Amino acid sequence: MSRRVTRSGFTLFELLLVMLLLVIIYGLFMQNFVFENDPYEEDVKLERLNLYLLESISKRKAKVSLKCVEDCSECHVLLDGIDTNKTISLFDKEFEPTAYKYDGKRLDRITYDDYYKDEYKREKVCFDYSVYPNGSADKVVLEYQNKVYLLENYMEEGRVFASLDEASDYLDEKQLEAKGR
């Protein structure tokens, strides 16, 4: 009489082989799926900067600021004044932007205070822009690469003008409309 041995499980080799196949399949096919993009990894355009930052607020309920430093090729993203260690690139190294504020009568050039990343590292700020938790945003006219960008309404894309005079005329017209109401 012979004894029959019945198998009731898998061998270690078979289990390892199945796991290896699953890892290979995952590596081949799952890398094409995007589960949730970090909004800071997107390519940000100047005319959509306010909408980009507003989207960040809706997820985080904080003041979101963008501080572009030194040669303006690197912009730090801050939440409530705290550096998130995320950076985006808005500007080329060769072209430094010039920012203006509109006081109701004319455009005045903005100068920014230095940015202290920590107590030992001070950087020159060439552009600073913020969107606040209540939905408001800084009103800035930005001259960059022969174009002028008006970032004024936090809910719409910024306007693009051919010259600083054209942007100033537009703001003057809006000022007159507001007084006429």
Model confidence pLDDT, tens digit, residues 103-115 = 778 889 988 888 8
For the chain, the domains span 39-180
**pTM across the whole model:** 0.68
CB of 49 closer than 8 Å to CB of 68 = no
Virtual CA dihedral for 36, 40, 41, 47, nearest 10 degrees?
120
Tell me which residue of 143, 82, 96 sits closest to 124, measured CA to CA. Answer: 96
pLDDT at 86 over 70: yes
- Residue 148 CA to residue 126 CA, distance in Å, equals 16
The tens digit of pLDDT for each residue in 141-175 reads 989 888 899 887 666 778 899 998 998 888 888 88
The CATH number of 39-180, from 3.10.350, 3.90.930, 3.55.40, 3.30.70, is 3.55.40
* CA–CA dist 76, 53 (Å, integer): 12
